[in-house]
Chain A
Amino acid sequence: MSSSPTNGQHNAAALPVLGPTLPGPREEMAVSIRGLVNRFGKQVVHDGLDFDVKRGEVMGIVGGSGTGKSLLLRTILGLNKPAEGDIMLLGQRAADLNEAQWQRVQARCGVLYQSGALFSSLTVAENIQAPMREHSDLSNDLMDELAALKIQLVGLPLDAGDKYPSQLSGGMKKRAGLARALALDPEIIFLDEPTAGLDPIGASDFDQLILSLQRSLGITVVMVTHDLDSLVAICDRIAVLLDKKIRVGTMAELMQDPHPWMQEYFHGPRARAAGMGAAGMSAAAGRGSGTDAAERG
């Protein structure tokens, strides 16, 4: 287990704002990636990517289409075997573990897939109990109670437990998926576009739900999102996939990045509508977007 600084960390020291990695032992990070390379044939998606997620933070991952956001998530979760790179999840190095050990690490993670990925043949309550059945020795009564609790925690009505996923609306499916992701009280949850397909009110409800659960349960959240409102509302730091690498920073830091894509992303009309202009007003001074945002209120 090496905790010696790597090249990535030297870069981080030189460029404190945009460095993708953090100082400190990697074992203490929720996720720590060094030198990740993913390629399909000749097409390189990730090229020597370094990425750290601190415990207890909310990390947003953004990037244009085809930059490999979902692939990064799949790689962290072990669903995709990278060409090169060292991946540590919850202080465990994926390469060092056998299958059973890796499954134990996976049991400490929760995942909310884009469309919920609820098992269609099971009711919502049974979906929530599915991971409990596999990874714990709880009695049926206790599992019923815990499933009911999770259903309440994510803000679903109690009678939703007996429904099948096909009987739920899109927003309820996401909540049910989140309840399943939380079934084993994970240390980290991964969310793939949690607010995609929700109406703005539902999306903002869902943002607040994630935030309050994260605060009270003390979990680490890693979310891929295209929703600028979510980024502003709940993310502590943001990782931008750009040019096969990753840039990490707070919203204010990233807004100062001169890269054209970053400028367009964080200062475009949608960003201004999401109220980013106000947050980065000082950064954007002289560019006119600040006043624009102020006028829009």
Chain B
Amino acid sequence: MASAADWISTTQEGAETIWSLQGDWTIHNAQVIDRQLQGRIKPSGKVAGQPRKIDLDLENLSSLDSAGAWLLTRLARDCRAAGAEVGLLHIQPRMQDLLQRVIDAAPDNKAPEPPRRNLGDWVAQIGKAVIDVWTLSLDLLAFFGALVEVTVRAIVRPRHLRMNSIVSHIEQTGLNAMPIVGLISFLVGVVLAYQGADQLARFGAQIFTVNMVGISVLREMGILLTAIVVAGRSGSAFTAQIGTMKVNEEVDALETMGLNPIEVLVLPRVLALVISLPLLTFFADIMGLLGGGLMCVLLVDMSFQQYLMLLRQAITVSQFGVGMIKAPVFAILISLIGCFEGMRVTGSAESVGKLTTKSVVEGIFLVIVFDAFFSILFSMLGV
């Protein structure tokens, strides 16, 4: 193997220069060779000594691969650009095919630079984003309309309801979510009571910890946490399930069998979530109150019976109702977004992943937006 110093050496100088190439011109040496070649071609594009004719002698080349052939081709091109005539001497037969192929394929110049962005593009991008959001909202509304239509039809003729599917989705989205929802609400109950007791103790109102835990868990925390967990857990699952079916063309198969995909795939999921989310919320409320109760017993020096009694004075049925009434609305939002994004999957498995992420983000976002609407509504109604 040639030493690093002499991949290319000048064997004859003057008007007719000969450069002799040596060693392994392969991809592993390409970087070193490239650096050495740069010494021969000046940044201005001129060759030192400005020879009229340059011959590249390949006799001593021990091996050549396509990277080496490219460097060789580029060297010849640069020399020609510098105004010299370039010839190749002693081409070894085993390298001929490769060299010819690379010369034929050699890109003349680098790929065209991507157009630079200016202010106009930036404005156009914002405009496009706005239009995209608008059309997306219209699509979602249309999807909701189609769902309502299918629901009405199912109510009129209940055999359109797929009970097996509904029950199985209730199990997946409700029953199987109980451990995680229960644990999270319990812990949030604990945290609320702990923080509340700490702050309220400063002005001797420690006893009101019970009011705080009761009201915040029943009105907001129970339903909000449940909805967020379900959006992450079941909304994403809906998108992934339906999206995978889209990729496999199963949805098209359903349609050509004369079945309505919304009726078969979407309606059971929406109904299942409308049933299971309120149940989960109720469960979360209980667990949250238990968690708060535990901390009250430990920190505020009361018995569990006292906690329950105070709780009964602190909250009313309407507090509970305010939380629960949001559950079916959130259920529709989450399942609608989940199924809608699933239906938007096209072609590749890649888009399943992308839209699943989107469905979770949009689901949680809409849940919180609607929660804010509910707050405004309830305060106007004075509940």
Interface residues, chain A, CB within 8 Å of chain B? 120, 125, 132, 136-139, 142, 144-146, 148-153, 158-159, 161-162, 166, 182, 184-185, 212-213, 215-218
Known: A145-B74, A145-B110, A185-B67. A153 touches B34 (CB 8 A): no
Known: A138-B31, A145-B70, A185-B27. A153 touches B102 (CB 8 A): yes
Residue from the list A136, A145, A184 in contact with B31, Cβ < 8 A: A136
Contact, CB under 8 Å: B30 / A136: yes
The answer to whether the Cβ of B114 comes within 8 Å of any Cβ in the partner chain is yes
Contact, CB under 8 Å: A216 / B31: no
* Complex contacts, A158 vs chain B, CB 8 Å: 107, 111
* Complex contacts, B34 vs chain A, CB 8 Å: 138-139, 142
The answer to whether the Cβ of B350 comes within 8 Å of any Cβ in the partner chain is yes
Residue from the list B74, B97, B112, B347 in contact with A159, Cβ < 8 A: B112
* Complex contacts, A184 vs chain B, CB 8 Å: 27
Residue from the list B31, B111, B350 in contact with A139, Cβ < 8 A: B31
The total of Cβ contacts below 8 Å across the A-B interface reads: 77
Chain B residue nearest in CB terms to A153: B105
* Complex contacts, B102 vs chain A, CB 8 Å: 149, 153
The answer to whether the Cβ of B94 comes within 8 Å of any Cβ in the partner chain is yes
Known: A182-B66, A184-B27, A218-B98. A148 touches B348 (CB 8 A): no
The answer to whether the Cβ of B316 comes within 8 Å of any Cβ in the partner chain is no
* Complex contacts, B303 vs chain A, CB 8 Å: none
Bin chain B's interface residue count.
20 to 34
Interchain CA distance A150-B348 in the complex, whole Å: 26
- Secondary structure at chain A's binding surface: helix, strand, loop or mixed? helix
B165-180 at interface with A (beta carbon < 8 Å): none
Contact, CB under 8 Å: A148 / B26: no
* Complex contacts, A150 vs chain B, CB 8 Å: 66
B69 to chain A, nearest CB (A): 9
Residue from the list A138, A145, A152, A166 in contact with B348, Cβ < 8 A: A166
* Complex contacts, B74 vs chain A, CB 8 Å: 145
Residue in A125, A212, A217 whose Cβ sees the most chain B Cβ within 10 Å: A217
* Complex contacts, B105 vs chain A, CB 8 Å: 149, 152-153
B344-383 at interface with A (beta carbon < 8 Å): 347-348, 350
A148 to chain B, nearest CB (A): 4
A-B contact pairs, 25 of them (CB 8 A): A136-B27, A136-B28, A136-B30, A138-B30, A138-B31, A138-B34, A139-B34, A142-B30, A142-B31, A142-B34, A144-B111, A145-B74, A145-B110, A149-B66, A149-B106, A149-B107, A152-B106, A152-B107, A153-B66, A159-B111, A166-B348, A182-B66, A185-B65, A212-B101, A217-B66
Interchain CA distance A218-B98 in the complex, whole Å: 8
* Chain A to chain B: the 5 pairs with minimum beta-carbon distance, closest first: A185-B65, A216-B97, A152-B105, A216-B101, A148-B107
Chain A residue nearest in CB terms to B73: A149
* Extra inter-chain contacts (13) besides given A149-B70, A150-B66, A218-B94, CB under 8 Å: A144-B110, A144-B111, A145-B107, A146-B27, A146-B30, A146-B67, A148-B110, A158-B111, A159-B111, A184-B27, A185-B65, A185-B66, A216-B101
Interchain CA distance A151-B110 in the complex, whole Å: 12
The answer to whether the Cβ of B12 comes within 8 Å of any Cβ in the partner chain is no
Chain B residue nearest in CB terms to A125: B111
Chain A residue nearest in CB terms to B112: A159
B363 to chain A, nearest CB (A): 25
Interchain CA distance A116-B234 in the complex, whole Å: 33
Residue from the list A139, A151, A152, A215 in contact with B97, Cβ < 8 A: A215
The answer to whether the Cβ of B100 comes within 8 Å of any Cβ in the partner chain is yes
Interchain CA distance A125-B111 in the complex, whole Å: 11
* Complex contacts, A212 vs chain B, CB 8 Å: 101
Interchain CA distance A136-B101 in the complex, whole Å: 23
Interchain CA distance A190-B184 in the complex, whole Å: 51
Chain B residue nearest in CB terms to A138: B31
Residue from the list A136, A146, A148, A213 in contact with B111, Cβ < 8 A: A148
Interchain CA distance A150-B106 in the complex, whole Å: 9
Q: 1/0 per residue B44-87: CB within 8 Å of A?
A: 00000000000000000000011100100010000000000000
Contact, CB under 8 Å: A153 / B101: yes
Interchain CA distance A136-B28 in the complex, whole Å: 6
Chain B residue nearest in CB terms to A182: B66
Residue from the list A132, A142, A145, A217 in contact with B65, Cβ < 8 A: A217
* Complex contacts, A213 vs chain B, CB 8 Å: 101
Chain A residue nearest in CB terms to B98: A216
* Complex contacts, B98 vs chain A, CB 8 Å: 216-218
Residue from the list B31, B107, B347, B350 in contact with A137, Cβ < 8 A: B31
* Complex contacts, A148 vs chain B, CB 8 Å: 107, 110-111
B270 to chain A, nearest CB (A): 31
* Complex contacts, A142 vs chain B, CB 8 Å: 30-31, 34
Interchain CA distance A213-B66 in the complex, whole Å: 10
